Structure 1
């Protein structure tokens, strides 16, 4: 812990040095520079101190989320400034070396002085993430988007042509702080009037009690004609805190499983059920969490026991790495998998239909939206809530409406 804090402090200190270089290039008043240094030192100290107070027996709290938000708001913009100034330093060193070797009699300083224009560019660019992160904290985290996605299947049973599914994922109820906004989101869910609603895990950050203030709110999700089903996410297992005893952890897990029932969802634990319509049926399969780098409790073989390749199957699996590593290659041919988990890292750039980017793509091959391989699809929901960073920038909270279409997709 001490070593990690020392490393973090060293990195932040270097970032601070570069940021101050830009500031002092533009500001000449001594009292303003001193004020800047004092404020920066106080915030630097507060952040490091807050990290020392993290209690692993408690896990994420409002205080830790505030600290993470403050860390990002302060230092992401300064990192941008540092990158610009580092680029300038490359040219300064190159220019100094050229002057030194070409003009040995030059009395000029080895390094040319910093240019005011470059510092202005650095600080100007830094304003973009600064304002974006502030927006993400105060507005973005509750800027719910309804995303509608049609998916075509030649083998879809005829009665399910046009069938609609609302998907929510990654609620992380322990992070919420605005009942009005959450009630608005529930209204959005109900307004979709889908045939079926599916919840793909992470009802809490860690503790079952986090959901208790929100049970009545989420119970307002209306009864859908063909049911309300859910699976567990990695956070539902209480793996990220230290428990007093194993029995405490086990009780919390049992209480979390009950939460899904308390808000009207049927929890599928490595099992399947059938959705029937007009004499036709599709199999709804739900596995426990299976993650390449997280808990692997999901048992696809058990969940799909007695199902055949010819059965039309919708799989709920929280972590999309399950689809990438296992599901898309399974001989039983799972036509559609619904996942969440990534949140799109709650930070990125997205222009629907044209461009999307997030750091999440360097961790997950499937991280937001629809992906296909050999007629097998996975849809990755961007998440309903938020975790760690108390905001969202570019990658907004999502309510997904998927429509199943019979036949091939037209070019």
Structure 2
């Protein structure tokens, strides 16, 4: 209860401070009332969704996600505006003290706020405000096909030009637009890849979230099949289950559903992909994550029956597994496919110029292709979204990776 009181007081204080910028810029009262109404409605909806409106046994329902997203949008607007107001108020305060003690002023007075600074503050604050709203309306379904060519000296000849489509972090419990998902499924199939690999987090919390979308994902097609692994959200660990049996049944139902959709679910095991007389080992581990995430992945078990000289592709949901375990394993894993980070669903990317997101402060390998110790990893930015119901700058991704045999020199 105390945390709610502190949060509400802080939010209202930020709103009152931001109101001063609006009063400096315009004299129309309806602008003030509109801002106050929006701020209070967003706050009221957030409090309702996270208290009385909370759905039993679920961490983030769609209404809660949108309540959080709208609150984030308004607070971003407030905070950036306040940065300008606060810096100006410090200057005003110093000016007032100087005039009182070193000037000719008999009383302490503050200079008026400068209109142009408030205009700049409000203008800059409107950028993230608009971007976050766009991210919830359009950005979350702005699917991008990112293509990579990776060269390997020891790639079996028959697999030269072999094409992989990777998707990750579907988070089907967040979807709210069937047409957009139909479009994305068609986009995946248009790649006509040899194999489709899904690297975890089919749902947010429960198997039932995938049921409305299972028919669409069943239509995914690839010559050599579809393979999947589990992500941290697939285990139902973030739900207050009434009994352990219900949690176990949820996981079993999800495994069965994936298989019904045509996915070969790899649970710390491997398969061989074969072309002609050549083969490559496809290894899939359960989730293994650093920092409190489930560590069910067993790389030793998964690769127990493959040969050291095999060309290996590893599916592992969390890229911290690659950093902490895979790179130092006795086997050489030529390519690892991961997801998990979502690129934080927020950042700035200009190909060839900049790739930045706050998630880089937690994950060293957070989006795209990396190479260490002669081994590659692709960290997929995710197909869906979670928490903030949108994406800004870091768009939903369909990775298309073509394996190439490096010419001998």
Residue 266 (structure 1) aligns with: 264
Aligned mates of 1:408, 1:41 — CA distance in 2 = 64
Distance 1:7 1:392, change over 3 A: same
CA contact (8 A) 2:228 2:263 kept: yes
Post-superposition shift, 1:398?
A: 0.7
Determine the structure 2 residue equivalent to 1:251: 249
Q: Which residue of the partner structure matches residue 196 of structure 2? A: 197
Aligned to 2:209: 210
Instruction: Tell me whether 395-404 or 33-42 shows the greater mean CA deviation.
Output: 33-42
After TM superposition, the structure 1 = structure 2 runs for residues 147-226 of structure 1, keeping only pairs within 5 Å, are 147-222=146-221, 224-226=222-224
| Whole-angstrom CA distance in 1 between matches of 2:307 and 2:94 | 67
Further displaced range: 36-45 or 261-270: 36-45
- What is the aligned length? 407
Partner of 1:60: 60
Taking structure 1 as reference, are residues 122 and 408 closer, same or farther at Cα in structure 2, changes over 3 Å only? farther
- Could you say if the C-alpha distance between residues 143 and 248 of structure 1 is closer, same or farther in structure 2, counting changes exceeding 3 Å? same
Query: Does the 8 A contact of 1:308 with 1:332 survive in 2?
Result: no
User: What is the match of residue 297 of structure 1?
Assistant: 296
C-alpha spacing 1:19/1:286, structure 2 compared with 1 (3 Å): same
Q: Is 1:325 matched with 2:330?
A: no
For residues 191-221 of structure 1, give each alpha carbon's deviation from its aligned partner in whole angstroms, at most 9, with x where no partner exists: 1011111000111111111111111111111
- 2:83 is aligned to 83
* SS of residue paired to 2:50: helix
**1:47-91 CA distance string (max 9 Å, x none):** 223222334513321211220121122211222112222232333
Query: Residues of 2 paired with 1:9 and 1:409: CA distance?
Result: 65
Task: Confirm whether residue 73 of structure 1 aligns to residue 36 of structure 2.
Answer: no
Residues 97 and 218 (structure 1), Cα distance of their counterparts in 2 relative to 1, 3 Å cut: same
- Which residue of structure 2 aligns with residue 346 of structure 1? 345
Q: What displacement does 1:37 show?
A: 2.7
CA 112–329 in structure 1, closer or farther in 2 if over 3 Å, else same: farther
* Residues 9 and 48 in structure 1, CA contact (< 8 A), matched pair in contact too: no
Instruction: From the superposition, tell whether residues 334 and 4 of structure 1 become closer, same or farther in structure 2 (CA, over 3 Å).
Output: farther
**Kept after mapping to 1: 8 A contact 2:39/2:74:** no
CA distance in 1, matches of 2:34, 2:408: 62
C-alpha displacement of 1:282? 1.1
> CA separation of 1:170/1:99 partners in 2, compared to 1, >3 Å: closer, same or farther?
same
Which piece of structure 1 moves more, 71-80 or 284-293? 71-80
User: Where do 5+ consecutive residues of structure 1 fail to align?
Assistant: none
RMSD: 2.0
Are the counterparts in 1 of residues 49 and 64 from structure 2 also a CA contact under 8 Å?
yes
Aligned equivalents of 1:175, 1:371: Cα separation in 2 = 29
The answer to whether the Cα contact below 8 Å between 2:46 and 2:64 also exists between their aligned partners in 1 is no
Q: Distance in 1 between matches of 2:2 and 2:68?
A: 19
**Cα displacement (A) at 1:13:** 2.4
> Where do 5+ consecutive residues of structure 2 fail to align?
none
Return the TM-score normalized by structure 2.
Answer: 0.94
* Structure 1 pair 278–256 and aligned structure 2 pair: CA distance change class (3 A): same
User: Given the alignment of the two structures, is residue 377 of structure 1 paired with residue 383 of structure 2, yes or no?
Assistant: no
| Deviation of the 1:33 alpha carbon | 2.7
TM-score (norm 1): 0.94
CA distance in 2, matches of 1:136, 1:190: 25
SS at match of 1:18: helix
Distance 1:34 1:372, change over 3 A: same
